[in-house]
Amino acid sequence: MAPAEQAEIRRAAAARGRSIPDGADVEVCRERATSAASFVGMLQTMDERYRSVLRWSSPEVMRMRDGNDAQMQGVLVLLKDNIETRDMPTTAGSLALADNAPGRDAPIVARLREAGAVILGKANLSEWANIRSSRSISGWSAVGGQTRNPYDPERTPCGSSSGSAVAVAIGLAPVAIGTETDGSIVCPASVNGVVGFKPTVGLVSRTHVIPISHSQDTPGPFATTVEDAAIVLTVMAGSDPEDPATAEADARKVDYRAALDAGSLRGARLGVMGFLLPAYSTEARAEFDRAVEALQAAGAEVVEIGEGPNMQAIGSWELTGMLTELKHGLNAYLASTDPAQVRTRTLAEVIAFNAAEPRETELFGQEFFEMAEATAGLDDPTYLEVRAKAFQAAGPDGIDRMMREHGVVALIAPTTSRAWTNDPNDDDRSQGSASRLAAVAGYPHLTVPMGFDRGMPIGLSFIGGKWDDARILSLGHAYEQATRERRPPPAGTAAEPDQSR
């Protein structure tokens, strides 16, 4: 390559903020950049039919994959687009936040980068993490469009971490990060045939993650194996002085991969949450029966728990608490953004923005936002009462009591039944869920592929007490190794490229 051409390439790279180091071979750098662009382009083509990724990082980040032997060196990671990164906007799928680029990494992203991970992009999500409306459509956002389930594009990818689950299922990245308030990790993991883990609330920082509920929110990993999820959790877990809930995290965290034991089911006593089972489909219950047989064959003792807490009351208390915390948390988050980038400075202004923007409300409304705006704050006696009741019923009088009285180390149930259709006008609906108790209590919940319900993947849930994360992961790992139920999406199920926004 002629010196003049080398000099021009160096000038162009510097103008883009990507200077080629002195002494580096310009031709090699250009070839690597071209190769990286081709690789990212291939991934984009793979995702055209599924729309799991809302925004891609620059292809030049691929050049960061080589280097030291850090724990996640070169591992590609996708982030749900409610998690801030210094180099991309963070929108929660909302046009109100389309220009929200605060130039900061959430602490969990900083931990991933320090471990050598390469942030591939932002995954689509159910807009505002499914908290705008009771009729929100899982996997749809005004910014990212509709994410598709790769096993059947006419059925839901569930949410709100829809893109994170789908991207792992179709192989765009080995791991992705989602968030959960109630079901937003475990449901999409279950219906897209991957592993999803919701940690104990307080194990992983929520700073610079767009909030719903400080009592229930937590980031967590998606992967195709429990081992990979454990590696990612080990990197992300830890105390954050900006998040008081994580005060104990450094003392509680362990090497979750090292704690995995393929023989951990031997002698383990597990409790079936039988009081949940009638809500699931016939096919899901049959697959669960088969899973129980596999657990017993691996050495577990399985007992049925016939009576549980009042799930309807817990759900009602949970919603009131979440909406109160949403207004407080979202107002605080919006106040932390740049007014030049985010003109909606409060929840009330987001509501007004949506009302004036047809692209936001063409499919569903914002009644949950409006209900949240009407709440009276964190000092409101009604809020304090319902939050205390919800936690007590789900945690101490729910999961803790059942585990203690029945002498079990974990609770199990189907995570979901098959994915329901995307059509809001038909009668195909969600059937059964294991997420509520662990969500409201803030306890760990793991889902592992269990089988298929009419050709659609479903997961098996393992739920434990607070800080039982290592044991829950180990039990799920042992089940996974004994059964290996995961099957990748079959060829020929993809939808036509979706041009809608």
Q: Which of the residues 133, 138, 160, 435 is marked catalytic?
A: 160
Taking the C-alpha atoms of residue 452 and residue 432, their distance in angstroms, rounded to an integer, is 15
SS3 content of the chain, % helix, strand, coil (to 5): 40, 15, 45
CA angle 142, 500, 154 (to 5 degrees): 100
Residue 80 annotated as catalytic: yes
Taking the C-alpha atoms of residue 490 and residue 452, their distance in angstroms, rounded to an integer, is 13
Q: Classify residue 493 as exposed, middle or buried by CB count within 10 Å of its CB (0-12, 13-18, 19+).
A: middle
Q: In what order do the strands lie in the sheet with 195-198?
A: 53-56, 118-123, 76-80, 175-180, 218-223, 195-198, 445-453, 456-463, 410-414, 269-273, 301-305
Residue 205 annotated as catalytic: no
Residue 430 annotated as catalytic: no
Tokens 């991969």 sit at which residue?
257
Q: Which of the residues 133, 136, 161, 184 is marked catalytic?
A: 184
Q: Which of the residues 52, 57, 80, 162 is marked catalytic?
A: 80
Question: Which amino acid is present at 491?
Answer: A
Residue 404 CA: distances (Å) to CA of 56, 261, 398, 410, 413: 47, 23, 10, 10, 18
Tokens 């009591």 sit at which residue?
401
Residue 303 CA: distances (Å) to CA of 106, 157, 293, 411, 432: 42, 32, 12, 10, 20
Question: Which residues are designated catalytic?
Answer: 80, 160, 184
